[in-house]
Amino acid sequence: MPTKVFIDGKIVDRQDATISVFDRGFLYGDSVYEVLRTSGGRPVDLAPHLERLSRSGDAVFITTPASDVIRRHLAAVLAAAGNEDSYIRIVVTRGSSEIGLDMGLAGTSSLIVIVKPLTLPPAELYHSGAELRIVGVQVTPKVAMDPSVKSGNYLSNIMALREAKQQGAHEALRLNKEGFVAEGASSNVFVSRKGKVVTPPKSAGLLPGITRMRIMQIAKSLNIEVTEQPLHPDDVRGADEIFITSSIRGLLPITKVDGSLVADGKVGTVTRALLEGYNNYLKLVATHD
């Protein structure tokens, strides 16, 4: 199953997908990007992903190509790869420049579209749940870098995940500087108590995930109450149910936090209902023209 990449205006194989060491994406993480998957070969939620890419670009003054241009190249890479289902990464870097922070040095932005076979977390994790670790690495405050911008600068997230992995957990849960829950290293978090679902508001300092938005819609359609409210770490530790969301994981149940079981340690009914709802949504995407 092949990996194909659109770069420098053409589609190439993995080993030929190379970029200049003077590209600012490489030098500084000076780029914006999106990650999504296909279902039945069709990109899931491509429109909101492209809108977010454009918003991220505007926020940091990187010119992103028009969405119909990206759609056209993406369709060509997907066709060239021919995978049953794919992982898709759309990257726009500020382009190459003389070395120097000044963005005025940059030439034109460059579009890269990576398509590779989709690999999901092990099925066992969806069945039994994964572990979350509340880590010391905090989210970057909005005044330093707006967390709603999906930029290529992920070192802080990488450090947070390292901390979680060292303790044997699947994902890190990061707090903001006020000590409230923000988000994972690469996911949003939801907790459920007495059948009601809560997720932190955008003001907590998080990337408003496309899957987060979708799960909130699905919850409403299933008459499950979902609200955005500040969450304290104790609200997470004392929750009946917890799950995380991201475009590749979809909805992943969490049954352990900081080494302790969440409630009875089993995937709860609200989580199950939303997991089923999201899987049905993926099936709909697969069959929808």
Ligand X SMILES: Cc1ncc(COP(=O)(O)O)c(C=O)c1O
* Residues at the contact surface with ligand X, assessed by CB under 6 A: 35, 157, 183, 186-188, 207, 209-212, 245-247
| In the complex, minimum distance from the CB of residue 151 to ligand X, in angstroms, rounded to a whole number | 10
Rounded CA separation 22/223 (Å):
52
Please identify, using beta-carbon distances, which residue of 8 and 163 lies nearer to ligand X: 163
Please identify, using beta-carbon distances, which residue of 5 and 210 lies nearer to ligand X: 210
Based on DSSP, count helices (H) and strands (E) in the chain, helices before strands. Answer: 8, 15
Rounded CA separation 281/270 (Å):
16
Rounded CA separation 105/199 (Å):
41
Rounded CA separation 199/193 (Å):
11
| In the complex, minimum distance from the CB of residue 97 to ligand X, in angstroms, rounded to a whole number | 26
Please identify, using beta-carbon distances, which residue of 52 and 256 lies nearer to ligand X: 52
Please identify, using beta-carbon distances, which residue of 185 and 262 lies nearer to ligand X: 185
| In the complex, minimum distance from the CB of residue 209 to ligand X, in angstroms, rounded to a whole number | 3
In 3D space, the residue among 273, 231, 269, 278 whose CA is nearest the CA of residue 251 turns out to be 278
| In the complex, minimum distance from the CB of residue 120 to ligand X, in angstroms, rounded to a whole number | 13
| In the complex, minimum distance from the CB of residue 2 to ligand X, in angstroms, rounded to a whole number | 24
| Side chain identity at residue 79, one-letter code | A
| Residue 272: both structure tokens together | 């199950």
Q: Give CA torsion, residues 87, 83, 127, 244, to 10 deg.
A: 10
Please identify, using beta-carbon distances, which residue of 106 and 236 lies nearer to ligand X: 236
CB neighbour class for 266 (10 Å; exposed up to 12, middle 13-18, buried from 19): middle
